[in-house]
Structure 1
Amino acid sequence: MKALLPALSFILMLGLAGQAGAHEVHVQVSPTQAALIQLSYADGQPFAFEAYELYPGAAELPAQVGRTDAQGRVVFLPGGTADWRLKAYAADGHGTDQRLEVALPEQPAAAPEAAPAQGLDRFSRLLLGLSLILGGFGLYQFFTCKKRKSSP
């Protein structure tokens, strides 16, 4: 039974290895043309970290929601829509609800090819993880077998 425990542990870890992919987050940066909206209070202070909603045309649901950055900016990709509605509001009652006209570029610039993601792909990471598990299991077996043979 003692010899069966490491094998069962190994099989359990091997079965759980597939769950590790659920925690992946992929990031891709693509340079493109974005619209920038700058919000500030009447005294010139930035409308920083306040909530906003951005609606394309006469849409009922916002295309983008979030908070302004530290300088009171909202950045978004207008796509093919020139008419937008911005609703920005603070907890103290300050805010705005207005229509915006976003100038669309005549011809979109050709985006440079995105750089390949750094690091290992998923299969390589899975193979590396399994190799580490097998290597650890092998080292464990090597040292436990060596102790069993040397003890009288």
Structure 2
Amino acid sequence: MVFSGDAVLVSVFTIHNTFAVLVAQRTRENALLRAVGAARRQVVTGTLAEALAVGLLASAAGLLAGIGVAAASRPSYRRSASPSPKAASSSRPAPSPSHSASGSPSAPVRRSFPPYGPDARPRSPRSARRTSTDRAPPAPAR
């Protein structure tokens, strides 16, 4: 999720920069429109309408391209998926040294939101380490 936010932030700056360059290049055209009699508001509205049209068309093209790539990669993903859940869980990548030393960069964000789902109850560290196949230790006799 963090990478999605980063991608959106980078794309916002890229789009803003692109349209700033386009507006700067069109200074002469805008000046001609103003000299012919167009109001400043009409020039700004035309520029914003063009930006909106390009944005909508590019968003639709990106959405369709993403759906196409996802559909094309689905058979490949099914072939590479491991058949047993244990085999999939045993082949986890090793954590990077930076995450081991300082914790995950997204830890402050994860701590800001309460847990959800079937395991959303408070747990002791010992029970959190226990997997679903482990049995809980017997209760002490009183």
TM-score by length of 2: 0.29
Higher relative contact order (CA 8 A, sep 6+): 1
TM-score by length of 1: 0.28
Structure number with the higher strand fraction is 1
Structure number with the higher helix fraction is 2
